[in-house]
Amino acid sequence: MQTTRALGSRYVLERQLGSGAMGQVWAALDQRTGETVAAKLLRPEFARDPEILTRFVQERSILLDLVHPHVVRVRDLVVEGEDLAIVMDLVEGADLRARLRAAGTLPPAEAARITADVLEALAAAHAGGVLHRDVKPDNVLLTDEDPPGVRLGDFSIARLAQETTVRMTGVLGTPDYMAPEIFTAETVSAASDVYATGIVLYELLAGRPPFAGGGTGYAVANRHVTAEPPPVPGIPAALAAVLQALLAKEPDRRPRAEAAAASLRDLLPALDGLPALPVAPEPTSWKAAGTGPAPAFGVLGHRPVDELDPGRTNVKAASPGPAAELSAPTTGEAAPWVAPSTDDELASARTQLRPRQAPAHAAPEVEVEPVASPGRLRDRRTWLVVGGSLAAVAAVVGVVALAGSGDPDDRSGTRGGGGGPASADALTVSGPTERLPSGLTVVREGAYDAEAGVLTTTVTWSSETSLPGPLFEAVPAAEDGTACPDVTWDVAAVRDVTPGLPVTACGWEVPVDVPAGAEVTASYTVPFELEEDGDMQALRERLVGAGTSTGAALDGLTGTPVYAAQRLEDLEVQIDGTVRVSAPVGMVVVPVWRGTDAADNISVLFSSRNPQPTLLLQQLGGDLEVRTDDCTGSLAFTDRVPYANTVGSGCTVSVRLGEIEARSRSFDVLQNSAG
């Protein structure tokens, strides 16, 4: 039985409307005005937290000044004893999440109208220096009017929740709606709210967020950064163009909230009358993002919490530059979204970028291409026919590389545009072959041009299975001791500043994929001088140093599947509790990363409870072999999932991926308790 009680000296809590992780929501009487208001009574531990309490009081005036027709107005903040409450307008109606549950998807016109209202609310907040940080259907309220009014709420709740959550986990917000830059520990900005609103629009149209699916929150985070949102079949091209702009990976490619809202409103006449689409099925795979140098997916929580500053509301300080403007799209085919020119700071972080050339397959005659052009794919299976064996082909290539090309222009490609043609006394040296546990093979070749004073390093990656990129390469520090030399790549490589990587690593994210049975190359050029002419050993040491630098940098990453093919060290097969007859075996395969000695239980490689290929497994080639050992026929397999058919003892399950084999603990199969 509910009873009323006082909240401060002004309000009386009359009836509880709901509860959640942050506390309780009550209908309250404002004794001064006689109005019924909503009071969010936060859990007592928030009132006992001095940091949250200080933030709460400091932001009181900011929140009270945030008044807009599409914002749930904050009327008062109450701090008394262990009561910490936010008093706001009482919105009669339901939230957008409930509307979605009931309808599945919304008609495009209704989805666009609601999204435009949310964007206008955000525009007003951003103009006042306030970020929301947790835009999602649960925080969008719909009035009981016809048509329903839209109110965006929980500005203060979102920040206070994150103040606590970040200190515990380093994670900001709800993963399904978080922008890529949040996962890479970059500064959160107004563009992050715009991205989250784009996710909401996608969900209203498709019935599901674009990156939700199997796996943990880390898997969802990885999709935000590395994958394209699956297209929504059936939506008009102009609406798809706005959606694409809202979901751009780079913050500076997204429109401002007010511009996006105007574009959606311009589309309403053309969208009117279009029916709602069916709920989109859950994707089984995601297409890798192929536009723009998106940051590498870093480690959630690796950045110090005080640097994340989850309570910061100053948009001007959080936003490094102007956001992209979105012109109103016209009906019919929408023009492609074009980002504005990058500013000086952004340009300096992307040293001499050039468009990546589409890889071309090499001709079968080895002699035609004695030295591969940068980015060229070479199908080793074709070469086996020509050379008789891979070893023979490798020997031929090595001899040709050491001898040099008769035509100096043949080597211009390996300069990455930075050194011009090689001089007559250029030196070319091949480094050691590195075979990683994932099955990825790495070879580095250095070409030194004494006349130009540059060294071009060509990195060749190969694998028997397809391994999606990007890949990581660290450039050894310059001779003068600076952290990172001037580097020119022949592909659109991007400086990787992922938290966990040493600042001095001079690490680069290289946008290449390794096709099955083939090899792919990328080259970079740096200033370099040999102390002694013709010192081949010094060149070899330089190539070895590149491999050492790359490995040392990757050792600093843990708990994240970024650069999985280069970091996988081992696998661990975990078996759940008791195994009984006539049931699947609860099995999870998790990775052990280099630089660690424990399995990463957050990044699941494979689970028998959800046998759909995880994104991490796809990044590692997808060819996970599963078999049973020492179990006298008790287990059978369907799509890599072990099933217990008969009683057995001393059972184990083994898996193989690349060069790695791992075995589970020994377990017994017991009779079903019902039998």
* Cα 494 to Cα 512: distance, rounded to the nearest angstrom: 12
**Extended beta strands in 528-586, E state:** 568-575, 579-580, 583-584
Please say whether the beta carbons of 647 and 611 come within 8 A: no
| The length of the chain, given as a count of residues | 675
* Cα 95 to Cα 479: distance, rounded to the nearest angstrom: 61
* Cα 295 to Cα 256: distance, rounded to the nearest angstrom: 21
Q: Is 134 a catalytic residue?
A: yes
Cis status of the peptide bond prior to 108, with omega within 30 of 0? no
Beta bridge partners of 378: 519
The C-alpha angle 269, 270, 273, rounded to 5 degrees, equals: 85
Q: Which residue has the tokens 């010094």?
A: 538
CA dihedral sign of residues 408, 411, 415, 418: positive
Question: Which of 24-37 are b and which e, b meaning 16 or more Cβ less than 10 Å from the residue's Cβ?
Answer: bbbebbbeeeeeeb
Q: Which residues contact 102 (CB under 8 A, 6 or more apart)?
A: none
Question: Which of 554-566 are b and which e, b meaning 16 or more Cβ less than 10 Å from the residue's Cβ?
Answer: bbbbbbbbbbbbb
Cis status of the peptide bond prior to 147, with omega within 30 of 0? yes
The C-alpha angle 517, 401, 489, rounded to 5 degrees, equals: 70
The helix (run of H) or strand (run of E) holding residue 246 is: helix 237-246
Residue 202 CB-density burial (10 A; 0-12 exposed, 13-18 middle, 19+ buried): buried
Please report, as a single letter, which amino acid is at residue 33.
Answer: T
Query: How distant is the alpha carbon of residue 607 from its chain centre?
Result: 21
Tally Cβ neighbours within 10 Å of residue 631: 20
Measure CA of the first residue to CA of the last residue in the chain; give whole Å. Answer: 46
Query: How distant is the alpha carbon of residue 262 from its chain centre?
Result: 29
Q: Which residue has the tokens 């040293």?
A: 351
Please provide the DSSP assignment of 110-154 as one string. Answer: HHHHHHHHHHHHHHHHHHTT------SGGGEEEESSSSPPEEE--
Separation in Å, CA 439 to CA 88, 183, 448, 570: 58, 28, 30, 12
Please say whether the beta carbons of 591 and 248 come within 8 A: no
Separation in Å, CA 478 to CA 481, 527, 529, 638: 6, 8, 10, 54
Q: Which residue has the tokens 């096709």?
A: 515
Please say whether the beta carbons of 121 and 68 come within 8 A: yes
Q: Which residue has the tokens 């090499």?
A: 362
Q: Which residues contact 165 (CB under 8 A, 6 or more apart)?
A: 171, 172, 310
Q: Out of 49, 134, 266, 496, pick the active-site residue.
A: 134
The C-alpha angle 400, 403, 404, rounded to 5 degrees, equals: 85
* Cα 581 to Cα 672: distance, rounded to the nearest angstrom: 5
Integer-rounded Cα Rg, in Å, for the chain is 29
Residues annotated catalytic, as ranges = 134
